[in-house]
Amino acid sequence: MAASITRRLTPIIEKAMATHNVPGAAVGILQDGKEHHLARGITSVEFPLDVDDRTLFQIGSTTKTFTGTALMMLVEEGKVDLDAPVSGYLPKFRLADANALKELKVRHLVSHTGGFLGDYLTISVGAPTPSAARSPACASTPRS
C-alpha cells in the first residue's frame, strides 16, 4: 500500500480493532487500478495466526443488503422472478434432496425460508466455524 495511505489508515484500523475488541483485520483498497492491502492482528484468540492479505474472514450478513438490492433491481427489470425455481437460474446447483431443489425458489434464498442451516467456512487451521459446528447437515451438503 502506498506509504501515505498506510500511515493514515493504520491508526484508524488499530483504534477500531481496540474499540471493538477485534483480534485481527484486513483492509483492501483499489486505487487507480492497483490493489493495496493492510493487515493487522491475529485470526482469532483460539487460533492465533497472523492476519495477512490472504486471510479469509466471515463477513456475516453484510452482503445481504447488496445482494437483496441487486436482486430486486433484476426483478424490476423482469430478468428474475422471485417465485421461480432456483434451478432455472443455476442449472448446475445441487442439493442432497432432489425434491427440495425442485421446491427451492429464488425468494427462499433472500428470506431465510430455504431451510438451510447456518453456513460453513473452514478457517485456515481446519476448525469449522461455530455455526458450521451446530449445522452438520451443511457440512455434508454436496458442493459442486
Per-residue pLDDT for 141 more than 80?
no
140 classed as catalytic: no
Q: Considering 4, 44, 61, 131, which one is annotated as catalytic?
A: 61
* pLDDT tens readout for residues 13-44: 999 999 999 999 999 888 888 888 899 999 98
Q: Checking phi first, is residue 87 left (phi over 0); if not, alpha (psi -120 to 50) or beta? A: alpha
Contacts of 35 (CB under 8 A, 6+ apart): 28, 29
Give the least confident one: 9-23, 50-64, 101-115, 116-130.
116-130
* Cα–Cα distance for residue pair 91/109, rounded to 1 Å: 15
Q: Does the global pTM surpass 0.85?
A: no
Please, which pLDDT band fits residue 122 given cuts at 50, 70 and 90? low
